[in-house]
A and B are shown apart, each in its own frame.
Chain A
Amino acid sequence: DTEVTQTPKHLVMGMTNKKSLKCEQHMGHRAMYWYKQKAKKPPELMFVYSYEKLSINESVPSRFSPECPNSSLLNLHLHALQPEDSALYLCASSLMSTGELFFGEGSRLTVL
């Protein structure tokens, strides 16, 4: 199994809603990532978890709250988002010893 699975594929939410994005991998990877990608731009790193601990937070606003319940799962909790947060949110994972990232298909988020 060489897949990173993200749900939901599409999400529309209002600025007062609370929602979560989910990511799962069963490749035994110990690093997991959240990226944000705007149209026609490269992915921007948000968070990195290494061995289930948050190791990198790229100064992301607190309305985005990551969670890593176990080595296979990664969540991104969303609350009080702004319309400019609308984007494709990508989850990725990697073995600790290599730089190759395996990406999911992404969750397309629209904030109204």
Chain B
Amino acid sequence: GESVGLHLPTLSVQEGDNSIINCAYSNSASDYFIWYKQESGKGPQFIIDIRSNMDKRQGQRVTVLLNKTVKHLSLQIAATQPGDSAVYFCAETAGNNRKLIWGLGTSLAVNP
């Protein structure tokens, strides 16, 4: 599940390693999932999305995996770079609902 409290979960990786960021989503009716990246002092930036009729989708250096059985979403970043350092949020929505439900976020720190 997601961490609660004042501190963001933090993942620290070495440059060049692969990163896996996990997210447990809350609504079994959710059918659309998005990963956002938020760098310090900036707004969230779309990374990749996936619909519930898929279990895997790949982008450039990123892969999203969806496990509907356990309501789990993950973001894999290949060959992590310093520029990947940011907070990563998962978000879910159901149907035509315009309201995204956001996860608490994970802070990714990439060590050179």
Contact = CB atoms under 8 A, between A and B. Distances in A.
Contacts, number: 52
A33 B44 CA distance: 13
Contact of A100 (B41, B46, B89, B103): B46
Interface in A87-112: 90, 92, 94, 99-106
Contacts of B43: 4, 90, 92, 103-106
Nearest to A91: B43
Contact of B49 (A4, A31, A41, A100): A100
Contacts of A106: 42-43
A53 to B, nearest CB: 12
Chain B, interface SS category = loop
Nearest to B93: A99
Closest 5 CB pairs of A and B: A103-B43, A42-B102, A103-B44, A99-B32, A105-B43
Given A42-B89, A106-B43, 18 more contacts: A4-B43, A31-B98, A41-B104, A42-B91, A42-B103, A43-B44, A45-B99, A48-B98, A48-B99, A50-B98, A90-B43, A99-B34, A101-B34, A101-B46, A101-B100, A105-B41, A105-B43, A106-B42
